[in-house]
Amino acid sequence: LGYKFGHISLPKNQIIAHSSLSYAMVNLKPITPGHLLVMPKRIVPRVSGLTPDELGDIWFLAQQMSIVLEQRHSAKSITFAIQDGMDAGQTIDHV
The per-residue pLDDT for range 28-78, each reduced to its tens digit, is 888 888 899 999 999 999 999 999 999 999 999 999 999 999 999 999 999
Report d(CA 76, CA 32) in Å as an integer: 14
Model confidence band, residue 85 (pLDDT cutoffs 50, 70, 90): very high
Number of H helices, E strands in the chain: 1, 5
| pTM for the structure as a whole | 0.89
Model confidence band, residue 21 (pLDDT cutoffs 50, 70, 90): very high
- The one-letter amino acid code at 28 reads L
Greater model confidence, 14 or 57: 57
- Quote the DSSP letter at residue 8: E
Residue 1 has pLDDT above 80, yes or no: no
